[in-house]
């Protein structure tokens, strides 16, 4: 499309209204908070929990990455995200297991869930439908049923807030009420500032999408801070904008990937780097970002920085993640592709289901 300010053209390309769903994300998060609060678990369910595991793939698994990042500094038990068929050995009856699958039919999650059932873990399934709901009911696991009709990646509010709120009921996790309120307020403000109605001249998400048009985005996050957002940005570029994209995180990338920006300059000149910054980053990370930029800048088309907003870790991580959702959709529109369908994923799941 020619101009991201042409609303009529936007609705022609965005046939399933992904942009509208993203604009309404703060409301989805508010609904999800209320939904999570309806789950009444007695204190024996939470007694002597020694670890938390989140099972989930893709758009459902990212909620686990967010939970791990948000809780890491304060929770006194480890949080493990399982993105595959099998559970690590330590997961047992004292593990609080969240089995998260939007469709309820993702085979890796179902397999790991079944293992958790046989180990007697304290399980909560988060799903809109499918086999997971059925198996959870049959095995007596708790179910948080979330609304259907979304693409999984567009239902992140429903997939994430219930696990965050349930985990915060454990006495090993400090109260998150204030953080949640701050986050919702910031998301609402961003929704306004980055919405389709906001003209390109005053809309930073539209501006970044224009800058990334025709380039291969590389997104760098920071370990323990913006890392899950960097993964989400990359996945949203893949699934919404239908472009290849890559991600990595500081400081690890300083020990390997930085060397890769050396040869094949003609190719890497088509890459555009987006660094996801956090005002609370370690001072050495600030130095690393500066030095890395200087060392690699001539090997890329361009480098951009996007910053978190807010005080709490929750607000910071969700604000920067949310900005990426907008950028990926505006990039899809510039590419003239409908952000919603993910034909390859559907096709692959069909092939795997064939006997």
Considering the complex, what minimum distance in angstroms separates the CB of residue 184 from ligand F6R? 23
Residues whose CB is less than 8 angstroms from the CB of residue 147 and which lie 6 or more positions away in sequence, other chains included = 31, 128, 155, 158
- For the question of residue 255 being annotated catalytic, the response is yes
Per the residue annotation, which of 239, 281, 309, 313 is the catalytic one? Answer: 239
Question: Where do contacts with ligand F6R occur on this chain (CB under 6 A)?
Answer: 57-60, 101-103, 106, 109, 151-153, 239, 342, 345
Closer residue to ligand F6R, CB minimum distance, 219 or 300: 219
- Burial letters 37-70, b for 16+ CB under 10 A, else e: eebeeeeebbeebebbbbbbbbbbbbbbbbbbbb
- For the question of residue 262 being annotated catalytic, the response is no
| Closest residue to ligand F6R in the complex (CB) | 58
Residue pair 292/257 in contact (Cβ under 8 Å)? The answer is no
User: Taking Cα atoms as reference points, which of 244, 226, 212 lies closest to residue 326?
Assistant: 212
Closer residue to ligand F6R, CB minimum distance, 49 or 231: 231
Q: Which residues pair with 82 in a beta bridge?
A: 55
Closer residue to ligand F6R, CB minimum distance, 102 or 161: 102
Closer residue to ligand F6R, CB minimum distance, 79 or 235: 235
Scanning the structure block, which residue is given the tokens 């990926």? Answer: 328
Q: Which residues pair with 305 in a beta bridge?
A: 275
Per the residue annotation, which of 255, 343, 350, 355 is the catalytic one? Answer: 255
Considering the complex, what minimum distance in angstroms separates the CB of residue 353 from ligand F6R? 13
Considering the complex, what minimum distance in angstroms separates the CB of residue 182 from ligand F6R? 27
Rounded Cα distance, 6 and 102, in Å:
33
Closer residue to ligand F6R, CB minimum distance, 83 or 282: 83
Considering the complex, what minimum distance in angstroms separates the CB of residue 154 from ligand F6R? 7
Residue pair 280/249 in contact (Cβ under 8 Å)? The answer is no
Considering the complex, what minimum distance in angstroms separates the CB of residue 14 from ligand F6R? 15
Q: What value does the CA radius of gyration of the chain take, rounded to a whole number of Å?
A: 20
Per the residue annotation, which of 83, 169, 269, 349 is the catalytic one? Answer: 349
* Active site amino acids: 239, 255, 349
């Amino acid at each position: 499309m020619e101009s991201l300010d042409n609303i009529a053209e936007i609705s022609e390309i965005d046939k399933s209204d992904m942009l509208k769903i993203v604009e309404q994300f703060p409301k989805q998060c508010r609904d999800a908070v209320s939904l999570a609060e309806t789950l009444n678990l007695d204190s024996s369910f939470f007694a002597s929990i020694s670890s938390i595991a989140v099972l989930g793939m893709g758009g459902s698994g990212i909620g686990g990455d967010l939970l791990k990042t948000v809780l890491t500094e304060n929770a006194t038990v480890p949080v493990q995200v399982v993105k595959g068929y099998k559970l690590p050995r330590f997961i047992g009856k004292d593990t609080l297991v969240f089995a998260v699958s939007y469709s309820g039919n993702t085979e890796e999650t179902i397999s790991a869930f079944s293992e958790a059932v046989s180990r007697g873990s304290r399980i909560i399934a988060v799903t809109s439908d499918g086999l997971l709901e059925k198996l959870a009911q049959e095995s007596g696991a708790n179910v948080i049923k979330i609304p259907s009709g979304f693409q999984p990646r567009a239902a992140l509010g429903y997939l994430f807030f219930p696990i965050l709120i349930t985990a915060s009921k454990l006495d090993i996790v400090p109260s998150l009420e204030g953080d949640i309120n701050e986050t919702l307020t910031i998301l609402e403000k961003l929704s306004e500032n980055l919405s389709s109605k906001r003209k390109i001249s005053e809309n930073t998400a539209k501006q970044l999408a224009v800058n990334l048009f025709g380039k291969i985005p590389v997104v760098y996050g920071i370990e323990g801070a913006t890392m899950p957002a960097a993964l989400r940005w990359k996945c949203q570029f893949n699934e919404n904008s239908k472009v290849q994209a890559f991600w990595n995180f500081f400081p690890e990338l300083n020990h390997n990937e930085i060397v890769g920006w050396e040869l094949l300059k003609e190719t890497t000149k088509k890459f555009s780097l987006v660094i996801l910054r956090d005002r609370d980053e370690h001072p050495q990370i600030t130095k690393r970002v500066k030095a890395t930029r200087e060392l690699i800048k001539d090997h890329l088309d361009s480098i951009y920085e996007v910053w978190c907003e807010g005080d709490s870790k929750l607000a910071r991580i969700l604000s920067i993640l949310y900005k990426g959702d907008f950028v990926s959709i505006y990039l899809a529109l510039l590419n003239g592709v409908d952000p919603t369908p993910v034909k390859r994923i559907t096709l692959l799941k069909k092939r795997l289901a064939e006997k």
